[in-house]
């Protein structure tokens, strides 16, 4: 039975990688061999989940998750379709000093003598390249997720600032962040009251009571 075993190191904690690979509906975002994926079972996570995967050539295969270890990895097998008599895969995460190692192992058996010949000539190399491309795309997806997390954490909390005016109380109006600084827009959102002074600081508006 031919074996493909590849690994990639991702500069992220295991939970960040797991967030990406455990979501079966998002498999197509990083799996280079599939053009679409749909979950066939009501259950979305864990052993027993089935998914329909459209191959790049246009045909569909159905895969079933056969083992699931939360936060660490899962195994799957093809139960219908594809050019293989047997096809099993495993994704495994391992924490290291420089990040998370993702190991992807494929075991498969081609159908018939012609299947074995085709696999020896080009099939195995194509499958190995698919795994390589997929792992690289997975790293990009995790990196993008981490970048979004960092931007969210670095966003300043402007609601901690107050405008103080002599002998006049002020109150803080909490507004959702906006993408532009435009006093008129904020004033309109406050009812268009021209007799109340509005001051804009960053993306939040303050006005005196």
Domain CATH code at residue 143: 3.30.530.20
The reported pLDDT for the residue numbered 71 is: 96
- Number of domains the chain contains: 2
Task: Kindly report, residue by residue over 150-209, the tens digit of the pLDDT.
Answer: 656 655 554 444 444 445 554 544 545 544 444 443 444 444 444 444 343 343 344 444
Same domain flag for 91 and 127: yes
| One domain, residues 80 and 165 | no
pLDDT digits (tens, 9 = 90+) for 14-42: 999 999 999 998 899 999 999 999 999 99
Whether residue 100 is found in the same domain as residue 180:
no
Indicate if 140 and 193 belong to the same structural domain. Answer: no
Q: Are residues 137 and 176 in the same domain?
A: no
Chain mean position to CA 173: 35
Range(s) of the domain holding residue 44: 3-154
Residues 163 and 123 in one domain: no
Residues 120 and 178 in one domain: no
pLDDT in tens, 89-144: 999 999 999 999 999 999 999 988 888 888 888 889 999 999 999 999 999 999 99
Is the Cα torsion angle 73, 32, 51, 26 positive or negative in sign? positive
**What are the counts of helices (DSSP H) followed by strands (DSSP E) for the chain?**
4, 10
Task: State whether 110 and 16 are in the same domain.
Answer: yes
> Do both 39 and 51 map to the same domain?
yes
Q: Where is the domain boundary, 135, 154, 173?
A: 154
Q: Identify the residue whose tokens are 């008129």.
A: 184
Does the pTM surpass 0.75? The reply is no
Same domain, 71 and 117: yes
């Amino acid at each position: 039975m031919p074996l493909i075993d590849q690994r990639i190191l991702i500069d992220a904690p295991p939970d960040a990688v797991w967030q990406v690979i455990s979501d079966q509906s998002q498999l197509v975002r990083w799996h280079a061999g599939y053009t679409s994926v749909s979950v066939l079972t009501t259950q979305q996570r864990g052993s027993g989940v089935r998914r329909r995967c459209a191959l790049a050539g246009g045909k569909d295969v159905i895969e079933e998750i056969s083992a699931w270890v939360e936060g660490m990895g899962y195994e799957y097998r093809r139960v219908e379709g594809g050019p293989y008599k047997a096809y099993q895969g495993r994704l495994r995460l391992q924490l290291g000093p420089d990040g998370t190692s993702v190991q992807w192992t494929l075991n498969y058996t081609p159908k018939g003598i012609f299947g074995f010949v085709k696999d020896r000539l080009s099939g195995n190399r194509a499958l190995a390249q698919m795994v390589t491309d997929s792992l690289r795309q997975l790293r990009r997806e995790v990196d993008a997720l981490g970048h979004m997390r960092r931007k969210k954490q670095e966003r300043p909390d402007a609601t901690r600032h107050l405008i103080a005016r002599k002998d006049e109380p002020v109150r803080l109006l909490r507004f959702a962040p906006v993408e532009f600084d435009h006093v008129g827009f904020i004033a309109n959102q406050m009812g268009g009251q021209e007799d109340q002074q509005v001051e804009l600081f960053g993306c939040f508006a303050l006005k005196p009571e």
